[in-house]
């Protein structure tokens, strides 16, 4: 179940980036579950990772290896290799060494990523057996296969491809992501991989990614849970004919804006595919004192099970939204200044129900598949948007049966 049209787009090849997949049979044998991404020599690579204290073994290894000029990403689905102790670390390192042997590289040049069930040993032997096939399949056109290989409870593969022009030459930016549940990122998304042929330094690439992640993946929530395996990677092969992008100047701003667009579209796709989701909900908080305050109010609404179930039922129970705003920790909030809207329908004004609000108008909005909740705090100029979805019977079913 997904909200809206969610077909996989045409993905343009990114010069200097190839992808290969294979089926290791980690949890299923229907589709590939191992992905290798190979970067051209002299590529730059940036990444952000989960802040969950129980972060997975591959997160630890990828963080360490990021400093060693990575050339390969190794991703598996079906097993998170999280909560696996010292053995999990050994297993993550072993898979890096196994791939390094196949590609004749250094194990420290491999960034491992895993997603799936927590607390189960990583089937290193199965992954090792699939590596040669995945390497033999390396191709610049394999973005669709790559997006499918990293899926777990996702109902559709998620991808974005964008071409921009700078100084008469093109730069391609492609991204894939996975995620449908355990979504409340505190750095990135569940897994996101973005590649470009831009020529840009690692430091500047890291800054670009951090900014994009903060305004995209850190503005979504499905269920309020932050995964042990969250990671987002931005790779730049340097193969474009566009001169090196420097921090000062319009070229960097143009490039950074394009990366931001790709991240926002991937993040929205995750919410559209929220486990059991039937509605996409945009929560726009305006007139806040600070961005942090606006995000806090937006996420308080988005995390509320009562709000989310009301949306699932198409019930214009606006009191639940009002209560969420009230407990969001806004200091010295003047109630009479707060306004709440469902799309263009004002439901709260002057500290209570708007005089011109009707249940029929609210019901008409709630029956829609996509809804915007606007909160005007009447305190300042800060504006932030948070994306979420409703909470349905299907969400409970998916997660109750996740390991069966």
Positions marked active-site: 189
Cβ atoms of residues 122 and 114 within 8 Å:
yes
* Positive or negative: CA dihedral 216, 13, 193, 394: positive
Copy the structure tokens of residue 159. 């991808």
Query: Is there a contact between 236 and 193 (Cβ–Cβ < 8 Å)?
Result: no
Please enumerate in sequence order all residues whose Cβ is within 8 A of that of 85, keeping only pairs 6 or more positions apart, or say none: none
Strands 169-178 and 17-22: unpaired
240 and 251 Cβ atoms separated by less than 8 Å:
no
**Surface-to-core class of residue 378, CB atoms within 10 Å of its CB (0-12 exposed, 13-18 middle, 19+ buried):** middle
Alpha-helix residue ranges (DSSP H) falling in 215-328: 250-272, 291-303, 305-312, 318-326
CA distance 154 to 222: 13
Question: In Å, how far are 21, 309, 325, 355, 380 from 161, measured between CA atoms?
Answer: 19, 34, 37, 46, 36
Evaluate whether 77 touches 152 at the Cβ level (below 8 Å).
yes
Nearest to 394 by CA among 297, 274, 294, 266: 274
């Amino acid at each position: 179940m997904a909200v809206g049209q969610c077909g996989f787009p045409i993905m343009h090849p990114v010069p200097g980036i190839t992808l290969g997949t294979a089926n290791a049979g980690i949890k299923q044998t229907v589709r590939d579950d191992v992905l290798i991404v190979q970067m051209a020599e002299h590529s730059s690579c940036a990444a952000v990772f989960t802040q969950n204290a129980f972060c997975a073994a591959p997160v630890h290894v990828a963080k360490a290896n990021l400093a060693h000029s990575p050339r390969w990403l190794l991703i598996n689905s079906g097993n998170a290799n999280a909560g696996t102790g010292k053995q999990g670390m050994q297993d993550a390192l072993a898979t890096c060494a196994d791939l390094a042997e196949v590609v004749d590289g250094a194990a420290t040049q491999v960034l491992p990523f895993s997603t799936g069930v927590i607390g189960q040993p990583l089937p290193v032997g199965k992954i090792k057996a699939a590596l040669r096939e995945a390497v033999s399949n390396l191709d610049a056109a394999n973005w669709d296969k790559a997006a499918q290989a990293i899926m777990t409870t996702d109902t559709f593969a998620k991808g974005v491809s964008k071409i921009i022009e700078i100084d008469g030459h093109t730069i391609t930016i492609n991204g894939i992501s996975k995620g449908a549940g355990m979504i409340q990122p505190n750095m990135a998304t569940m897994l996101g991989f973005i590649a470009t042929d831009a020529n840009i330094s690692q430091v500047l690439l890291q800054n670009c990614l951090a900014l994009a992640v903060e305004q995209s993946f850190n503005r979504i929530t499905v269920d309020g849970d932050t995964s042990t395996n969250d990671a987002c990677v931005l790779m730049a092969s340097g193969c474009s004919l566009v001169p090196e992008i420097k921090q000062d100047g319009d070229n960097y701003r143009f490039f950074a804006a394009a990366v931001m667009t790709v991240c926002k579209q991937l993040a929205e796709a995750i919410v559209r595919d929220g486990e059991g989701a039937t509605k996409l909900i945009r929560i726009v908080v305006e007139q806040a004192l600070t961005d942090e305050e606006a995000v806090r109010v937006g996420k308080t609404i988005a995390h509320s099970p009562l709000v989310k179930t009301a949306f699932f039922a198409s019930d214009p129970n606006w009191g639940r939204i009002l209560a969420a705003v009230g407990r969001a920790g806004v200091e010295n909030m003047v109630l009479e200044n707060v306004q709440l809207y469902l799309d263009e329908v004002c439901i709260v004004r002057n500290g209570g129900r708007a005089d011109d609000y009707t249940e029929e108008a609210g019901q008409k909005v709630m029956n829609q598949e996509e809804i915007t909740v606007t909160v005007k705090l009447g305190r300042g100029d800060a504006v932030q948007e948070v994306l979420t979805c409703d909470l349905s019977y299907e969400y409970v079913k998916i997660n109750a049966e996740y390991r069966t």
